[in-house]
Structure 1
Amino acid sequence: MGGDNTHSGAPQPVQPSLAFLKLNKTASKQSKSTYNVVSETMAFKSQISDVVNQLYDIGGLKFGDFVIKSGRRSPIYVDLRVIISHPKLMNEISKLMWDFASSNIQKCDSLCGVPYTALPIATLISARQEIPMLIRRKEAKGYGTKKLIEGDINAGESCVIIEDVVTTGSSVLETVADLRKEGLVVTDAIVIVDREQGGPKNLEKEGINCHSVCTLMQMMDILKASGKVDDLMLEKVQAYLQDNNDSTPVYPVTKVNKRTISFETRAEKAPCEVSKNLLQLMARKRSNLCVAADVGSASDLLEIAKQVGPYICVLKTHADVTANFTQDVADDLILLAQQMDFMILEDRKFADIGNTVAKQYSGGYFDISRWADLVTVHSLPGEGVLQAIQGESEKLGAPRGCFLLAEMSSEGNLITMEYIKGTTQMATKYPKIVAGLVCQSLLLADQVGLVQLTPGVRRGEVKEDGLGQQWVTPEEAVIDKGGDVIVVGRGVTAAKNPAVEAKLYRDDLWAAYEKRILA
């Protein structure tokens, strides 16, 4: 349908310059959910490549660690909301979408963009092709007409959905349901990006043909060819898709979701005695702050502990970077912890065979098991490291626990999706000794007894230290990333008055926690 033609109730064949565009008819016949293969024509490939590179340049494609609507964690986030500030690109995308899919759509009496990102795209297509448009509200207004669907609605007519990104297809299906309630026929959806995570298949089950301009991996291949991502990121996204290629999240967000449950309630369900005690302590003290006292001398360590003790739930130590750390210093720490009601976490990051870890944990110069309630552990060596920690703890006769390191806050770390998956599986196999996970995002949301320890947090505008450490705000750590115990280091220890700063962090973090459980 040319832009100068009046609306005739159905799309017309695309005129040159893209009249030679060949859609993959075989793939379309095999599955009406369109994992559409990129056109063989160099012109069309060039258009897609140009759009993808522009999206990257304006921040429409972000790489990091994100929780998307489906509840899954993702190393890539397709954020097409930014295109509203780039009208030329938005116009190119809208034209590309229609040219790509129109010849495969039997009837189109109206268009409806999924709120909200797709609305301006649908508007451009509507105006260019002179096809009526409908708007679906996310919720009906309590005044006026109180309509959920705005526009001229004629029951029995066909409406085509416009969407930016499809993951599981839930947003499209919500829109489809409301349109069908009005008597409209909905059989097609045009989307820019298919994240290859089950969306088109889910839509097909509901009678919707999904026409996607490109897939996530096609975008990654384009960015790799342009030198904008490296092989490591390409492999990370590939691994992510292999683990997330259907409609079921790898880490299910079930009806029992620890994000919205109080620490007191979670403590009742914790199988690890230390995590139970920690959750109770946090609720009792109204603090989810852990201060990382990575200081160079024993006197500084004890002074920091005295100043921040009233405001923290955990003091994190690195005994091996603290000069003159002796068992007398450890005894002083134990006494301060008892007086001020906090736990001690030695950030040892055990990562050796079980026999060696047992010796490192109990005995040697530091004799860590004697004074540390908690330690950090890498899962890389396998289950032997947990068996060693658990065995030594049982000999000690005092409650002890560990945090398994699932993710890190440092830029360029080598942790993969497979490593994260293996780590979470180990955590569930050793519930008596694993108190929680060190991670940057919500993992094992249904395991309410596991405590999420989230590092890399700092107030203010500074986001990195130049040595790979990346920081987020207290609210981002608690609400966006799902953190329970939040680790703050130099933001407190390097402050002119650590006690004052610790109190500010404690207040901000607790307010974020209360906001989270009431959401």
Structure 2
Amino acid sequence: MDFENKVTELALNLHKIDAVKFGDFMTKSGIKTPVYFDLRVIVSYPDVMELITELLYEFAVANSKYDHVCGVPYTALPIATLLSVKAKKSMLMRRKEAKSYGTKKMIEGHYQTGDRCLIIEDVVTSGSSVMETVNDLRKEGLKAEEAFIILDREQGGRENLESNKVQMKALLTMTKLIEILLENNRITEQTANEVRDYLQNVKAPSVVKVNERMFLSYEKRAELSTNAIAKQLFNIMAAKKTNLCLSVDLTSSTKILDLIEKVGNHVCLIKTHVDIIEDFSSGFVSSLQHLAKKLNFLILEDRKYADIGHTVSLQYTRGLYNVSDWADCVTCHSLPGEGILKALNGASNTDKGVFLLAEMSSEGNLITQQYTQETVKMAEKYAELICGFVCQNKDTFKNPGIIQLTPGVQLESSKDNLGQVYNTPEKVVLENGGDVMVVGRGIVAAKNSEIQAVLYKDALWKCYTKRISGKFE
């Protein structure tokens, strides 16, 4: 029997076992419908289960590149199990809710970050159930980009999934099913027309696009990063449970070192403006590096390079400050063009990271949306150099291996008299997508800098853990 005849047989069998019903029903998406699908009954019909498995394997699974299959709980689990056995591929199981004991995992099974997973589902209306599974897989660092479906209701689910980078393949569409049932005298012309009118006039609600990196842990993102410094920073954040960067905007090297000695245990990154230090010396650099190693943080020199490539190369590796010798990462503008990244990339042989300024937090700055987009595009050619972006918007970039460094954070929203706008931890982390948050005067000017650093550290980390739980939107 050829493929099309098998599909016809499946449609007729689904109607025969009452998995397809006609009347007045309500879908999970809250839509009234003249046709309802209850594919849970197929578990009582081994022949139907076998036919569905054979068709899905022949139709899509056999020609796909993947490491695992995962059924959307619960109806698709038996089919996913049979497909896993037939294809001799690993199966993963997604829980509806995490266990309250043991590992508390949402995804059961053995897998590696970056593995590809096929999603198996019975019926798609809006695609929301598929996206729930996709999101949980992606939080674990798995690639979930294909969904194989028994029946597509043709009410917007395909488009919703595609907008979230999930390609959907369906054995049957509602249109095809109705044609088969009508041709085989299983339904009347009137019923067929009612369903056709319904399909034309009723669409499922859209599914919100998901920014994957918002839900991935720092540990998972470290594995996905192509920049050595970004990997280090992600792992430091995870180990120390802090995503706080302290901007030590002081002019005295002694005061800077004293401050870092007090708060270094609570930060992942120290940001310097070396050219404002009035008593800069090699001794200061040695002491700063010693503290970085002792207290486990990285050093960011916020130089904001913005000259032609040759000049920037000299600014980075020569002169009084010789930044390349001691800073783990630096900031730079994209304004001069690609040459500035080429220069920094070839300036030294040590691991280095660059944070490109894609947006600024100062009121009235002249950076446009087009400028931001071109900055992100320019960075794509230098994946091993780019540590992250200095930006304010979670949608500025998608790559989960890159860090969003966000300045302008205070425990309460405010604005200074020079136009610097400050936002709360909740807004910066949960709404704006910040990964590492920069705090300066909020800690530096505090009466007790260590107590204040702990307050910021705890508030920012709490927001991060809430964000990756996926329960904040």
Give yes or no for the alignment of 1:292 onto 2:244. Answer: no
Q: Is there any run of 5+ residues in structure 2 with no aligned partner, and where? A: 1-162, 164-193
Give yes or no for the alignment of 1:279 onto 2:234. Answer: yes
Superposed, 1:388-427 pairs within 5 Å as 388-394=343-349, 398-427=350-379
Any conservation in 2 of the 1:253–1:446 contact (CA below 8 Å)? no
2:333, 2:441 → 1: CA distance? 24
Give yes or no for the alignment of 1:438 onto 2:393. Answer: no
Q: Is there any run of 5+ residues in structure 1 with no aligned partner, and where? A: 1-168, 170-182, 188-204, 209-246
| Other structure's SS at 2:301 match | strand
Superposed, 1:470-481 pairs within 5 Å as 470-481=421-432
Deviation at 1:463, TM superposition (A): 0.7
**Which of the residues 334, 340, 352 maps onto 1:379?**
334
Q: Deviations over 1:483-515 (max 9, x none)?
A: 000000100000001111001100010000000
Superposed, 1:206-245 pairs within 5 Å as none
Under a length normalisation based on structure 1, what TM-score does the superposition of the two structures give? 0.51
Distance 1:335 1:206, change over 3 A: farther
Distance 1:186 1:420, change over 3 A: farther
Any conservation in 2 of the 1:350–1:357 contact (CA below 8 Å)? yes
1:486, 1:364 → 2: CA distance? 30
Amino acid at match of 1:344: I
| Other structure's SS at 2:348 match | helix
RMSD of aligned residue pairs (Cα, Å)? 2.7
Deviation at 1:184, TM superposition (A): 12
Under a length normalisation based on structure 2, what TM-score does the superposition of the two structures give? 0.56
| Other structure's SS at 2:464 match | helix
Q: Deviations over 1:53-87 (max 9, x none)?
A: xxxxxxxxxxxxxxxxxxxxxxxxxxxxxxxxxxx
Structure 1 consecutive aligned stretches of length 4 or more whose deviation exceeds 2 Å: 183-187, 205-208, 443-446
- Equivalent pairs counted in the alignment come to 278
Deviation at 1:206, TM superposition (A): 6.6
Deviation at 1:185, TM superposition (A): 12
| Other structure's SS at 1:335 match | helix
Matching residue of 1:463: 414
1:429, 1:274 → 2: CA distance? 17
1:380, 1:206 → 2: CA distance? 50
Matching residue of 1:132: none
Matching residue of 1:503: 454
Give yes or no for the alignment of 1:428 onto 2:392. Answer: no
Amino acid at match of 1:419: Y
Matching residue of 2:260: 305
2:306, 2:336 → 1: CA distance? 6
Matching residue of 1:345: 300
Q: Deviations over 1:195-225 (max 9, x none)?
A: xxxxxxxxxx9769xxxxxxxxxxxxxxxxx
| Other structure's SS at 1:393 match | coil
Give yes or no for the alignment of 1:494 onto 2:465. Answer: no
| Other structure's SS at 2:330 match | strand
Matching residue of 2:26: none
Q: Deviations over 1:81-131 (max 9, x none)?
A: xxxxxxxxxxxxxxxxxxxxxxxxxxxxxxxxxxxxxxxxxxxxxxxxxxx
Give yes or no for the alignment of 1:355 onto 2:310. Answer: yes
1:416, 1:445 → 2: CA distance? 15
Superposed, 1:311-350 pairs within 5 Å as 311-350=266-305
Any conservation in 1 of the 2:265–2:295 contact (CA below 8 Å)? yes
1:458, 1:483 → 2: CA distance? 13
| Other structure's SS at 2:463 match | helix
Any conservation in 1 of the 2:373–2:396 contact (CA below 8 Å)? no
